[in-house]
Structure 1
Amino acid sequence: MRDAARAASVSEDKAGLAALPPLREVIKRHGLAASKALGQNFLLDEQLLDRIARVPGDLAGATVYEVGPGPGGLTRALLRAGAEVVAVERDARCLPALAELAEASGRLRVISGDAMKVDEAAEAGVGAHIAANLPYNVGTALLVRWLTIDAWPPWWRSLTLMFQREVADRIVAAPGSDAYGRFSVLAQWRSTARLAMPVHRSAFVPPPKVMSAVVHITPANQPKGVTIRAIEQLTAAAFGQRRKMLRQSLKAVPGAVAAAEAAGIDPSRRAETVSVAEFVTLARTLSAARQDC
């Protein structure tokens, strides 16, 4: 009976969403020109938005935490997929449009504020998905924040995020490629990262100067004997001077060069040739050496 009641409620909510005016009309009525200062580019293609909302899998009854919903394009798609959405919006101009969406759906809660200052786990709850067409000016900072949580598995179940294509390529890059770097290791050493779909610049209003892509990241098991602090230190040093040999770049981390030799990693190599698994081994060896001292 409870499931039937919920299904009926969701059906009513979807009917309310279907009655809403098109996004372009909402944007025009509320005067929501995209703000360059806030890194805004609105995505209006409903079919594309629905495809993005399907990337995490079945969202019926799931909670989704969304950053920077703007006029609510992706928000509508997430709601159509049956999700309960907690959205954080910094731009006060967008709040009236989001309030209309919240009233029509019954499954949207909007937080007015800076996403970098929100207690996300408290607001969205453990097990929530994160989905966002991230503002370009805070996207990488938020990603690093979500990937460097000490407690693992993290409070979030998956990340479905829109980035500039260049950033997306760096997240999923393999060793030896030009895009491979710190983001690649942070995203892959205890998570699985994949490129879910490319998005052409023409899909946005206004069109950005660069292409975009959606990345999907899910938590994996954290390797034993390795801390995020060790991974961060090693990758920051190694890729901070990526054209130099490890024996030079890793001098910034006490004991790291000796740990590389002990782990069987040739210090004459450069960072872009060191695999994620090798960085994990290096971090484990360094952590063990520090404990022995």
Structure 2
Amino acid sequence: MTDLPSLRESLEAHGLMAKKSFGQHFLLDLNITRKIVRLGGPFDGDVVIEVGPGPGGLTRALLETEARKVIAVEMDSRFIDLLGELNGVYGDRFEVIEGDATKIDEARSLADRNLTEAAHIVSNLPYNVGTPLLIKWLTGPWLPLSMTLMFQLEVALRVVAPVGDNDYGRLSVISQVLCDCQKIMDLPARAFTPPPKVDSAVVHLKPKAERPEPRVIRNLEKVTAAAFGQRRKMLRASLKSLGGEALLEKAGITPSERAEQVSPQDFLRLAHLI
């Protein structure tokens, strides 16, 4: 690390600052990024994909581990040259892909580089695409080994919320059916440059050993959208188009319950029955 300028120096040298339109808020304290990586790991011998590296705070911390390779996906072309400077220290253990992470085929990208299809995801997610990216990785055909993701606090709380909690919703159900989810770190707004208007938190998601088949995952998306789209209605009404009372009785769920009273496993049972 002594061969590299500080993150602030790198930003100044390249005349860069965060872009509001990209939802960028940078972590420039390497003590924080190292802690995030330590809590999300270990990554020994594995490939790590980082989304939205910006100036490379998390990237540097990841490259200090025993990860086999770190691939950074960055859509802001302004940062490509800055990030490329890491190759001078870390060689081909590091690579930048310029592109939109919501559109990238991770399995193809790994195969094109003769890498194992398995990889971890680590990201200080841009606020404006955090939830869509999480849903993509949870429900898509390519499944990460693990995900260590920074969200604005309200989204992080929704991911880990238990049934009956005020934050419990569709994102809670889908995340918890498919992964073991844990909030591993809180970060105040002042930790970022520029500071966002809200606090943030890091969530670690580890996919469960037994994964439902794609049909069931699609049904889970469908049934949670219907139930939480009308969350104040009883399930017999909100799920009427999917089978209503008959479906609920088959699943052993009281038709008068509302969405926030139904556990992730009960939603999974409904998804199997649709």
Please give the range of the TM-score, normalised by the shorter of the 2 chains.
over 0.9
Contact 2:237 2:244 in 1 (8 A): no
Q: What corresponds to 1:30 in structure 2?
A: 14
Contact 2:27 2:191 in 1 (8 A): yes
Residues 225-256 of structure 1 deviation map (CA, whole Å, 9 limit, x = unaligned): 97101101100000001111111111232x24
Q: What corresponds to 1:242 in structure 2?
A: 231
How high is the TM-score relative to the length of structure 1? 0.87
1:101 pairs with one of 72, 82, 86: 86
Check if 1:259 corresponds to 2:232: no
Q: What corresponds to 2:113 in structure 1?
A: none
- Partners of 2:258 and 2:146 in 1: CA distance: 32
> How much has 1:285 moved relative to structure 2?
2.6
- Partners of 2:235 and 2:200 in 1: CA distance: 33
> How much has 1:117 moved relative to structure 2?
1.7
- Partners of 1:224 and 1:206 in 2: CA distance: 42
> Counterpart amino acid of 2:119?
A
Contact 1:225 1:284 in 2 (8 A): no
Residues 15-43 of structure 1 deviation map (CA, whole Å, 9 limit, x = unaligned): xx331010010011111110000000000
> Counterpart amino acid of 2:159?
I
SS where residue 283 of structure 1 aligns? helix
Contact 2:235 2:244 in 1 (8 A): no
Within 5 A, what are the aligned runs for 1:4-23?
Answer: 17-23=1-7
Consecutive unaligned residues in structure 2, runs of 5 or more: 111-115
Q: What corresponds to 1:130 in structure 2?
A: 121
Aligned length: 266
- Partners of 1:94 and 1:161 in 2: CA distance: 20
Within 5 A, what are the aligned runs for 1:159-170?
Answer: 159-170=147-158
Amino-acid identity (%): 53
Check if 1:78 corresponds to 2:55: no
Q: Look at both structures and tell me which one has the larger radius of gyration over its CA atoms.
A: 1
Alignment CA distance shift 1:278-1:224 (3 Å): same
Residues 115-134 of structure 1 deviation map (CA, whole Å, 9 limit, x = unaligned): 12211122234220000001
SS where residue 37 of structure 1 aligns? helix
SS where residue 66 of structure 1 aligns? strand
Contact 1:38 1:137 in 2 (8 A): yes
Consecutive unaligned residues in structure 1, runs of 5 or more: 1-16, 287-293
Q: Which shifted more, 37-46 or 108-117?
A: 108-117
> How much has 1:155 moved relative to structure 2?
3.4
